[in-house]
Structure 1
């Protein structure tokens, strides 16, 4: 290898220098910012920290696992997001480490070492030959003019020439420093307010996520956090009226932790108002804060409403939502699957469970929700009409069998008028994400009793057989009457078990295809006559005179009852649960936050605002006056430059040139002025 080759071979850079160059590169910082921006969009669009069951229903088992592995259900608390944020802080910090000394030097450096040819190449320049002016006088006038125009200056004498360097707006560089420092400070505040501390404690085995459905007092100590354990948290608690709590629940992945508070929150009263559309308008909580250490025996009374939180000892208490706090209910369980028509009277409360025994075995009724108002669009409203009706109180519950399978029901307390007829409305769905399908039970005298007696009689095989045998047999064809009664009983049994669909399927199985429509029509006619006989018997027992025929109201009731009976096989419940009385207990959903990094984040935003303001509204401007003795006088070359806002600087340079021209008694040189861009 010769000497020239050795000189051309680049020297090997140290690893520390390479890492410093990598972490301080703008490409890395921009890439990290883009990833954080995309992650923030995902965290905004996808609702965070919801029960995992909701995500399974929304995305399905496969995508639920994929999104869970990516940490999308808690984006801001995921390890990769915290890592990227940490790298962004490191990258910006390295950039500051490398650039701060340079920028600080530039802020105070006047750059007196300039060449004449360089100055003559500037866009903003002027040059005069001043006969009879010596260098001292020219220097004094030039520096005085710079001072008058707001420039700080330094003078350097090089023997054959002098250079007076002026500078203005040197603190413009602070804008870049402040904005970069703001990213670091805000990122540190974000880490302080995130769940990084929870992850560290979990990795160290100091805490364990609780996944069981336990009361707050039963949660073990390893799943509880004492006040001051972590610098920031965001938790929720649901308080029924008249109750108090000194804790909140922190949702974490598929479980939770209990964060204890250094004070207790008592809910005195909860108020909610609604729009005409049924959406909540305002909800307000009247609370008391109990803190013996700081308040003594006198609690702090306050009002919390949406966007008006209570801040106490650095803890912010927000009004987040509302719900039921354990309303007391009285219920009637009307049998649907047997010949018994008397209801079973029950008492329960929202959040509790009732145990019943049905034809399919043991059943549990889980009372989930109570609503005092149900403002819904009018059934006959046209698109765009703002017509709403209050359908009154309702109860939501799940019916769970011994195998753990559940169906969800939603029952209105009062009958609703539809097409001038009254119906008790009950909805059912097999999965939480599905829409409810509704069963309309016709009401008589504001009660479902007539229909339920009719249903029970249809299920009473012995009484139906007796009713059919009481019919007058044909004198010459008793066998025909017996066979007809047997057909009627079989059709009724099929209808009870499968509705009209069962009748149709039976006809398809026993009747040739060419006679199917006729046979189906005949079967349905026989079934309707049989149901009519049973319904007339119910009317007779009520004392309704039916010998002269039934009225329009009873006829409409019968048609609605037959439709309801046909839908009962798909209803899936052995009883109809009617709410008869209630005592509402409301609950307020409060969110308690403690942000130890709030001050840090505010400082970061202050730096960001100051930095952006400095960068956009200031400019670093430099002006040089080059002087040299020449032909019995002095040659003066004036030049200047600005880092930004060139049009403004062109006008300012013209003003400086005019000031100097007046002082030296010469004409200013014409300078092109860039147009101002609006």
Structure 2
């Protein structure tokens, strides 16, 4: 039959395709490929464990810097388990291991089901463990003895007549071969579970454009619909803060540089949140009383959760993860620092933004956080008793942000009650320009009524031009008289200098005063003396104002006023505070008068539909490894051949490649069992 060129070419192409298919199958099912993929998965898992996942991008940027942040971002190391390359490797691992199992499954199945009763005499004699008997018994008796010995040692047996000989095949520990299958299948099952929990559905929705990551911090009602995920769509891990007495039916998923809103098939209501603290102020335990309202339930679920004691419902696990403020309501008095003494009442809640109209100045007040406890080591207690475990509570405080019309922000931290610092009491008002900086505190001294009223009055008096002029005249006259100079014109000139320095003090603090003095005395022959005299005039003027106010406060004349050490200490602290106010950067000082504390529980909610799959795969892997390590596959054959002289030849041989030493003892026990019925070994060959 003549073949055409086309048919020859078609057959050649078919053979090439078959060869390529065989090569691909061999490659996919190779052990080297599977091990390589497992190593990559293991390395990625280590990275995902060491490197915190799904954190805000700004945290990674601060931690690693711009260069490495961008490198890790391109590699998608901030969300390893949902990275496209990781899911691809898992899918390829499933394919590779599946091909490997499908290729080797038939051979392994034959290995565990066939007894290989087609063995020959020379094959048994070639085994390292074999024995031979010339039995004075018939074939049936010899066969019964051999089968009894094998079954007595736990072997399954099969018989087959091959010519004149009866072949008895015995096998034990065949489940070891099953261990190979289970371990490979376990890898496939675990990888499938990893794919399911890798949130493949979300990846597909992103690729199709069905969801869009929201990057702006918006109220929940303003988050667009394309940033919402329907309930029970896939695996997720998110968090939500719920104030006491409030409920939520969503959870927020941190995803790269934004977030998505995951809907829940139920609502969570927080009845109460409780927290306990160690003496040093660190939380010792916290728990939440939750009520779950599910349309599929006749009655809501009520349960208290705490750290390591979560609540699981409909595949969703709710963990107690954190805590925070839930919108504490505060009543605040804002005291303007423009010298008018105006007080501005402010009422708001934490996380609320307020617009302040302060005359010609407009500010946005953002109430950021509230701390009920501020516990610190009590330095005085340590000095007094030598103990290192005594602490003091500085009381409530709150954080807020002030933004000007241009959006420039300064961050503040204010205590409600006075705080003791080196045996003196102050109202502490912290300020910083950047959230990464520590607070620098303005120390306002406490008066004899445990308030900062007297300081505020003193600061207001420094803006009173008439009072400052009179005080500077008295200060200049006193200092010049002490120097023996009686010159009214010089007194007026010195008084104007003091008035000018106070304006610099109010606007820029003592630093501005020093800079002003340096510019005035620059080049003068007696510059140090002029600088010292000017400083003395400023201090005396401030002290004159302070004496006048102190006398009015006590209802006496300045001449009859008794100055005590505490008064002088207050004056020194007040001068430092006046200088600090100039650098405070706010048009007013806030003082917390009253609050209604409200806490919020921080919940982490996870849904892992692949968890059961992974658990199943892990169980299979454990069983498979146990079978591989602790079960030994052993085979023993007995060939029973009748002889012409009426005797029966019994040849028994066995093999165990995993544990030859242990099998040698077992085979010896088998031969002893046969010896008891057939007599001692008549011939042994180890060739």
TMscore range, shorter length: 0.7 to 0.9
CA distance in 1, matches of 2:597, 2:101: 61
Does structure 1 conserve the Cα–Cα contact (< 8 Å) formed by 2:133 and 2:683? no
Task: Tell me the residue number matched to 1:141.
Answer: 145
Select the residue among 279, 282, 286 that pairs with 2:285.
Answer: 282
Aligned residues: 657
Deviation at 1:199, TM superposition (A): 1.4
Contact 2:135–2:678 under 8 Å retained in 1: no
SS in 1 for 2:103: helix
Determine which of 428, 433, 436 is the counterpart of 1:430.
433
RMSD: 3.5
Q: Is the 8 A contact 2:475 2:544 kept in 1?
A: no
Q: Deviation at 1:637?
A: 5.3
Cα distance in 1 for residues equivalent to 2:508 and 2:425 = 25
Q: Is the 8 A contact 1:127 1:635 kept in 2?
A: no
Provide the residue aligned with 1:347 in structure 2.
347
- 1:107 positional shift: 0.9
Distance 1:384 1:116 in 2: 89
- Which residues of 2 match residues 349-498 of structure 1 at below 5 A? 349-357=349-357, 361-379=361-379, 385-444=388-447, 445-460=449-464, 463-471=467-475, 473=477, 474=480, 476-498=486-508
Which residue of structure 1 lines up, in the alignment, with residue 224 of structure 2?
A: 220
1:516 & 1:159 partners in 2: Cα distance? 130
Distance 1:564 1:165, change over 3 A: farther
* Contact 1:661–1:668 (8 Å) recurs in 2: no
Q: Give matches, 1:519-598, under 5 Å.
A: 524-543=535-554, 547=559, 548-598=561-611
SS at match of 1:80: helix
TM-score, normalising length: structure 1: 0.86
Partners of 1:41 and 1:456 in 2: CA distance? 62
Q: Answer yes or no: is the 8 Å Cα contact 2:236–2:607 preserved in 1.
A: yes
By how many angstroms is 1:185 displaced?
A: 1.3
- Match for residue 104 of structure 1? 109
Structure 1 residue aligned with 2:314: 313
Unaligned runs of 5+ in 2: 1-15
Identify the match of residue 623 of structure 1 among 627, 631, 636: 636
CA distance in 2, matches of 1:227, 1:190: 20
Change over 3 Å in CA distance of 1:669–1:461 after alignment to 2: farther
Q: Kindly tell me: are residues 158 and 414 of structure 1, through their superposed partners in 2, closer, same or farther at Cα, counting changes over 3 Å?
A: same
Compare 238-247 and 366-375 and name the one that shifted more: 238-247
Change over 3 Å in CA distance of 1:28–1:539 after alignment to 2: farther
Q: In structure 1, how many angstroms separate the alpha carbons of the residues matched to 2:472 and 2:216?
A: 57
Q: 2: CA distance between counterparts of 1:478 and 1:44?
A: 81
CA distance in 1, matches of 2:670, 2:463: 106
Distance 1:554 1:94, change over 3 A: farther
The Cα of 1:500 is off from its aligned counterpart by: 4.3
Query: What does the per-residue CA deviation read over 1:536-589, in whole Å, with 9 as the maximum and x for residues that have no partner?
Result: 233223227664542122222223233333444443333222211101122222
SS at match of 1:302: strand
- Deviation (angstroms), 1:300: 3.6
Partner SS, residue 211 of structure 1: coil
SS at match of 1:414: coil
Residue 328 of structure 1 aligns with which residue? 329
Q: More displaced, 635-644 or 432-441?
A: 635-644
Query: Secondary structure, in 3 states, of the residue corresponding to 2:297?
Result: helix
Whether 2:182 is the aligned partner of 1:178: answer yes
Stretch moving more, 464-473 or 93-102:
464-473
Structure 2 residue 61 is the aligned partner of structure 1 residue 56: yes
The whole-number CA distance in structure 1 between the counterparts of 2:683 and 2:543 is: 112
User: Equivalences for 1:36-55 in 2 at 5 Å?
Assistant: 36-55=41-60
TM-superposed CA distance for 1:75, in Å, is 1.9
Deviation of the 1:65 alpha carbon: 2.8
Query: Contact 1:326 / 1:349 at 8 angstroms: preserved in 2?
Result: yes
Q: What secondary structure does 2:96 align onto?
A: helix
- How many angstroms does 1:502 deviate by? 4.2
Residues 1:258 and 2:286 are matched in the alignment: no
**Structure 1: stretches of 5+ with no match in the other structure:** 1-10, 671-678
Are the counterparts in 2 of residues 507 and 516 from structure 1 also a CA contact under 8 Å?
no
- Distance in 2 (alpha carbons) for counterparts of 1:525 and 1:218: 61
2:76 is matched with 71
